[in-house]
Amino acid sequence: MSLSLFDLTGRRALITGSGQGIGFALARGMAAAGAEIVLNGRDAAKLDAAAETLRDEGATVRTLPFDVTDHDAARSAVDGLEAEGVAIDILVNNAGMQHRTPLEEFPADAFERLLQTNIASVFHVGQAVARHMIGRGRGKIVNICSVQTALARPGIAPYTATKGAVANLTKGMATDWARYGLQCNGLAPGYFETPLNQALVDDPDFTDWLSKRTPAGRWGKVEELVGACIFLSSEASSFVNGTTLFVDGGITASL
């Protein structure tokens, strides 16, 4: 009985930005837990390759390429899928970007791209999917936050602002939509080895600093995010709403 709480069989999950990195790892893990997967990104070829990999592993997968920063495109893609009778039971808002520059030199256009990719996309896709979830009286939304939701580092102040906003938007989603049977929560990774962090992974000084700063003493592996995502996507979290779960090796717990 206890393990069945985490079973995603019969559920369908849309994961944005899932052609690689954390999004792909979460898609793979959720497929292993029984979910049907809908991969999203702007690069159709990359999505097709990711889908083929998952199908070779036995997953049921489809792709849904659209730009998450485009409100109309997100609405049209989701509505079109639902019109085909393909209901989205779980949404993982994972799409995101980073830009590293000292704040006093930060380009205005880069700041706007961060706002659109990291915050506006969560609203656009979240609203499009929630409209259908509300009609069914159930649904799970997992917004990917960051250790920077709670902390800051030099050179990424706008990114930190966006991830703090995602956590508060998550609270707002829960406040508005819990009454309709939706659970909306955040998942905040610490420092993980991903393409987004490759420059830091390759920097021995940063890796040495991170190893000393993190109680676990190392970078995280993307597979270590899967369990938390399955928890937030499953019946196991039926009364968890508006919270952000940190998976960070203890970095936010220590000085």
Q: Is residue 253 part of a domain?
A: no
- Domain of 37: which CATH number? 3.40.50.720
pLDDT at 3: 85
Q: Is residue 255 part of a domain?
A: no
Q: Is residue 35 part of a domain?
A: yes
Question: What percentage of the chain carries pLDDT values higher than 90?
Answer: 96
Residues forming the active site = 159
Has residue 99 got a pLDDT over 70? yes
Q: Is residue 122 part of a domain?
A: yes
Its sign, for the CA torsion 37, 31, 227, 100, is negative
Confidence grade of residue 1 (pLDDT, cut at 50, 70, 90): low
| Mean pLDDT (the chain, rounded) | 97
Q: Which of 41, 46, 50, 38 is nearest to 129 (CA)?
A: 38
Q: Is residue 168 part of a domain?
A: yes
pLDDT at 2: 79
Has residue 231 got a pLDDT over 80? yes
Tally of domains within the chain: 1
Place of tokens 């995101």: 96
Summarize the confidence of residues 82-107 as an average pLDDT: 97
Give the Cα separation of 120 and 169 in Å (integer): 10
Q: Is residue 254 part of a domain?
A: no
Question: Could you tell me if 166 and 122 are in contact, meaning their C-beta atoms sit under 8 angstroms apart?
Answer: yes
List pLDDT tens digits, range 156-170.
999 999 999 999 999
Answer with the residue of higher pLDDT: 199 or 51: 51
List pLDDT tens digits, range 5-41.
999 999 999 999 999 999 999 999 999 999 999 999 9
226-233 and 21-32 helices cross at what angle (nearest 10)?
Answer: 60
Helix (H, G, I), strand (E, B), or coil: what is residue 61? strand
Summarize the confidence of residues 30-55 as an average pLDDT: 97
Which residue segment(s) compose the domain that 97 sits in? 3-248
Helix (H, G, I), strand (E, B), or coil: what is residue 243? coil
Q: Is residue 153 part of a domain?
A: yes
